[in-house]
Chain A
């Protein structure tokens, strides 16, 4: 039978788990939370007025405000220099921070050293659960917002998220700071419940406990941390209730149970909660309605310059991947870029989309300078692309993938969702409509709910195009979209690209399938050994002797898909 203490520990362990969930949803592994909690606990216990002076609840609220602010400050101070770290490196750096905080507190006599510091007990189960529910509410509203989708995209594939216009650095710091604030809240609630805080309460084990709670509960649905906390807090209680002898057997059984949960529910306990992807009824059929109601951009008119390359080169060590390329793409054009393997096609489009910076020469796309501008700004300017190797967000549904594509078009909805403003719902509906139409455009309307990783190869390539289209791009870059498709699929794709071109989209198509390029493109550029060897209409290029030689010289027969 859970008593008061059990109820409180479920709530505050849940809040601590949420501080891990906050970063895990964005694919970040941080272990600094114990440090933030320690700073908040000792800081608020030192600075906040005593409950005997101002009353229990006001004292706690002041302490919470102090603790959360300190958590935020600490996470900014730690986050700024460490946000470029990834995976285990970030985990180690943040762990180092937490350990440093603990050592510092041990050696600060004013905080009681290892013997800790007494704190009045104020927190009751009701107070703890109110805080837990507020935090859970925050993440419930965050999940399906534009912000929440951006975080999921970063978790699934950071580079693709960047290319879809998501400012990865800012989002990563935001979640890190959220995590710091929540860890701070946990630290304060802990302090005001357990009566004595000691540095050992905020050790490495504490951090691991929080991480395990979040992972066991599930780090993709907001109820996860609560479920994890209920589970892990009740296991010892249940063992006591059943009457298992106190001693090593209990932690052993608990660990075994943990192992079983992770083995059979890799998505955590929250994966038991059924999820349904809402596919909205698609209304409107004409192409112009695709972006209806969204902040559409002004596309360059026919003939206006979209891309302008001047003497663009890229060297990798001694290898000249791209050499002195001059190229111009104008509005409404479908430009084909062909060339044998290793000719530098992908390097060239990576420079145009800003993923790679040229060694010399200039790139100007839609008025900005990719390579000198962050990738997400290039995307925001209207450059959208697919990748040679599909870079979808594998665990997100087709519809969610496409919704991420519309990131640059849509307005933030998280704060408005929290306040239940009708405009947020309207915006979300519009984004859904838009995404659904983009899916239908590529023929995936009936696969909206399927996770991207479960789609067939051809469908994945189509989904990538739908995602790129969802950004309402002024320049669409397709990097070998037909690779791996059969002739029928390739023909369908060719028709789709032609139709998009007729809608006025400027398209840069890189393709091995020369026949398809000939059929689809209005102009073709041929690259060999990093240099442009021919430019012109399909007929001119086909007749060019240098081109024929380049292709005959390569091992790959012309016109065959790989």
Chain B
């Protein structure tokens, strides 16, 4: 009797879930015509709001990036909607830095009426979630994935974030020239996909610049005490420390390095590219060299306007993640206006036609591999702010 009832309950639950699953599978908003507008380019007018879904890490390990990204997106959408003609309905979802949530959120977006999906925040999550959009024929614009192979997943996957391979070689080359680097110590957290791939690019760049790596030290993303490693690094008398780590590690690492008397430049990866470094590490951050996809000091009109608006809206300076998110909406808007259509395939086509587009990141082109190309910048911390090196 009891077991029969349990079987009954289980069967009922299974059935309910199955039916519910079938019910949600209605293909979304493409094809109903209202997403196609009149006119073209700046004159394009589309009656319905274009659905933009963003799967960001708002909680969990990568929460600090996701928050900036959301700010950038919301600011950009508000600006675009004010301009009119084409309006956007932004849905920001949290993937909790968890593959299960990332995959589920992407599935929800593809099943709904989103014209394009932005995200997810981390590259590992991107490899898990973006294929769902590829299979469903929904374009994706990655705004912070820097790993190689992201856009190789399919012809619907685009990105506006420069890869490590695009930024780090420039950083090492310029730093080597500026500081006459001969030997360095490399440190990186080896249990994080982003910092590990960053390390790989650092290593190969150092090799091609002919800089000797006297020691390579690894730590964990969750570490906060770097004194033993730094003491070891100090003993090697390097001309610079090269570090691939996240901002959480960067702040204590830089502070402790200066405490221990390491005065040489510290060259960081993209994880260091965060105003929080100067805010929290203070004077210790002076002399930190960071390669970046976004030049925060750039005086191009888009960037100046963005810095102002962001500061006003959120009471603090934006970081690169916010800038890349903001630029994503500029790109999407241009892509939508290209065919004056929010249909998924039309947006995909539009994205393939982005060339020399002025954005907060500078003049941006999406190449044949669906990767963004724009100028990178090498920055150095001077007087508590990022300045262009060289």
Contact = CB atoms under 8 A, between A and B. Distances in A.
A10 B10 CA distance: 13
Given A5-B107, A236-B104, A116 B58 contact: no
B190 A4 contact: no
A114 B191 contact: yes
A115 B197 contact: yes
B131 interface: yes
B384 interface: no
B127 A246 contact: no
Given A115-B196, A226-B10, A246-B58, A3 B21 contact: yes
A209 B73 CA distance: 32
A48 interface: no
A4 B107 contact: yes
B209 interface: no
B24 interface: yes
Contacts of B190: 106-107, 113-114
Contacts of A194: 99, 103, 128
B108 A3 contact: yes
Contacts of A247: 58-59, 94
B235 interface: no
A138 interface: no
A4 B106 CA distance: 11
B9 A6 contact: no
A273 B131 contact: no
Interface string A210-251: 000000000000110010001001001100100000111011
Contacts of B47: none
Contacts of A303: none
Contacts of A201: 99
B176 interface: no
B111 interface: yes
B390 interface: no
Contact of B94 (A106, A198, A250): A250
A125 interface: yes
Nearest to A144: B3
Contacts of A7: 17-18, 21
A386 B5 CA distance: 37
A507 to B, nearest CB: 38
Contacts of B30: none
B301 interface: no
Given A195-B131, A199-B191, A223 B9 contact: yes
Contact of A140 (B3, B107, B111, B196): B3
Given A115-B197, A273-B9, A236 B21 contact: no
A118 interface: yes
Contacts of A115: 123-124, 147, 193, 196-197
A195 B129 CA distance: 9
A122 to B, nearest CB: 13
Interface of B: 1-3, 5-6, 9-10, 13-14, 17-18, 20-21, 23-25, 56, 58-59, 92-94, 96, 99-101, 103-108, 111, 123-124, 127-128, 131-132, 147, 190-193, 195-197
22 contacts: A1-B24, A3-B107, A6-B21, A9-B100, A9-B104, A102-B191, A116-B127, A125-B21, A194-B99, A194-B128, A199-B191, A200-B124, A201-B99, A223-B9, A240-B105, A246-B58, A246-B92, A246-B93, A248-B58, A250-B59, A273-B9, A275-B2
